[in-house]
Amino acid sequence: MTVTVFVAGTGTEVGKTYCAAQVLRRLRRRGLRVAARKPTQSFAPGQGPTDAEVLGAASGEHPDVVCPPAHTFEVPMAPPMAAEALGRPAPTLAGLLAAATAPPEVALTLVEGAGGPRSPIAADADNVALAAALRPQRVLLVADAGLGTINAVRLSCEALGEVSPAPPLVVLNRFSPTDGLHARNRDWLARDGLEVHIDVESVASVLADVAES
């Protein structure tokens, strides 16, 4: 049975897709069968690859498998708002759950949300509601490493606290070992009892162990 990991972020643009793609590549190099799912996406057209394209390139899947075209909205707003603006049907929680499904032979599926924990993702769900319905074995919370991250991580962990049996794995994206604030942020969050990572390699290592256990 596939292990499901929900990739949440403290907000938009923190690096959910970037980190997920890096982790997927590392897991594949270890010989694991992986899948990526972005159950719905919205973006400004003409500004680089979509999340589904980035994730699919990393997992070895077609972007339309990663995110169905019916759930893809070319307007940079939360998906149900973008759908409304385009006069198209907004995705529903049931539709997103169907889109998050991967073949049973896959060892690990990374499912990326959209925006932050309380950002709307369907007509009837925010990211926390989607994550809870997915019942993931783990949540990977991607955060920035700099100013404001303690508040953002604490609030996100509070919101996501009940969705998986284990506490979220936190990764401080764009962490610089020579930045004193980054190091202090890591230490303070670790004192909360959180598992804090500062690189994708160690995240991949933990997730490989979860998938193989």
Ligand X SMILES: Nc1ncnc2c1ncn2[C@@H]1O[C@H](COP(=O)(O)OP(=O)(O)OP(=O)(O)O)[C@@H](O)[C@H]1O
Our finding on whether 26 is near ligand X (CB under 6 A) is no
How far are the Cα atoms of 17, 71, 163 from residue 37, in angstroms, in the given order? 11, 12, 18
Tokens read off for 207:
């997730």
How far are the Cα atoms of 42, 89, 97, 122, 157 from residue 19, in angstroms, in the given order? 19, 30, 22, 23, 18
Our finding on whether 80 is near ligand X (CB under 6 A) is no
Is-contact 172 186, C-beta < 8 A? yes
Our finding on whether 12 is near ligand X (CB under 6 A) is yes
Is-contact 133 100, C-beta < 8 A? no
Our finding on whether 10 is near ligand X (CB under 6 A) is no
Q: Catalytic: 38? A: yes
Our finding on whether 197 is near Mg ion (CB under 5 A) is no
How far is 83 from 118, CA to CA, in rounded Å? 18
How far is 149 from 143, CA to CA, in rounded Å? 7
| Residue in 6, 8, 34, 51 binding Mg ion, rule: CB under 5 A | 51
Our finding on whether 126 is near ligand X (CB under 6 A) is no
Our finding on whether 39 is near ligand X (CB under 6 A) is no
Using CB under 6 A, which of the segments 11-19, 85-93, 123-131, 176-184 binds ligand X?
11-19
Q: Mark 14-33 with x for binding to Mg ion (rule: CB under 5 A) and - for no binding.
A: --xx----------------
The footprint of ligand X (CB under 6 A) covers 9, 12-18, 51, 114-115, 173-174
Which are the catalytic amino acids? Answer: 38
The footprint of Mg ion (CB under 5 A) covers 16-17, 51
